[in-house]
Amino acid sequence: MKVLFFASVRERLGTAECELDGGTLPADLDALREALAARGDVFREVLAQPNLVCAVNQAVVHGNAALRPGDEIAFFPPVTGG
């Protein structure tokens, strides 16, 4: 399972992506957020932002969503125009 981070999320975390593999992959976005938050305070703070946008396989999802092995998950700040 590939997790991507974009824009200010990437900058705050200091990484553009991470890979989760093994026998215990998160079953849903809530479980993924918990697993990533265990990586430290910065991950916990960034993933707790209420306006954080999440996409699964390049489709924006709202709320909790089921995940499958091989999914690509992306976290990014809300898009604004100007």
Residue 35 CA to residue 5 CA, distance in Å, equals 15
10-22 pLDDT, tens digit each: 999 999 999 987 6
CATH code 3.10.20.30 for 2-76: yes
Give the CA distances from residue 63 to residues 40, 50, 60, 78, in Å, rounded to whole numbers and listed in that order. 23, 11, 10, 15
pTM above 0.95, yes or no: no
Yes or no: say if 25 and 1 are a contact pair by the CB < 8 Å rule: yes
Residue 23 CA to residue 20 CA, distance in Å, equals 10
The one-letter code for the residue type at 82 is G
21-80 pLDDT, tens digit each: 767 789 999 999 999 999 999 999 999 999 999 999 999 998 899 999 899 999 999 987
